[in-house]
Amino acid sequence: MVRLDDVVERADFIKIDVEGAEELVLLGAARVVESRPRILFEVNREAAVRLGLAPEGAWELLRQLGYRFFRVVGRDLKPLGTAPHGGNVLALAGVPGGCG
């Protein structure tokens, strides 16, 4: 394994689905995340806890960086105020009217 920061300079979009280890991916992509990419990540609380991570670790890390969260419903984005129990979440940096 390698950190995303070691192989990518910047990104416009990142998709993360690593069965609960999303927080670890984001920690290894701190520099890339500075470019404020759109990030689609999975919330998998049970898997995160099994790995010894916080159930909402990825959500909290992105929230602290000013990201807002949405569920994709068809062609629309539904703002999320709290982390869902599971499923995919779209995180957008600095979006007016978003929740987070």
- Which two tokens mark 4? 């995303």
Q: Is residue 43 part of a domain?
A: yes
pLDDT at 1: 81
pTM: 0.90
Q: Is residue 10 part of a domain?
A: yes
Q: Is residue 56 part of a domain?
A: yes
Residue with structure tokens 């010894």?
52
Which of the pair, 2 or 22, is modelled with greater confidence? 22
| Average of per-residue pLDDT values in the chain | 92
The CATH number linked to 69 is 3.30.110
pLDDT at 100: 47
pLDDT (tens digit, 9 = 90+) per residue, 34-76?
999 999 999 999 999 999 999 999 999 999 999 999 999 999 9
pLDDT tier, 96 (very low <50, low <70, confident <90, very high otherwise): low
Which residues, in sequence order, are CB contacts of 32 under 8 Å at separation 6+?
A: 4, 5, 8, 9, 10, 11, 14
What whole-number distance in Å separates Cα of residue 68 and Cα of residue 3? 24
Q: Domain count for the chain, please give it.
A: 1
What whole-number distance in Å separates Cα of residue 6 and Cα of residue 8? 6
Domain that holds residue 29: 4-93
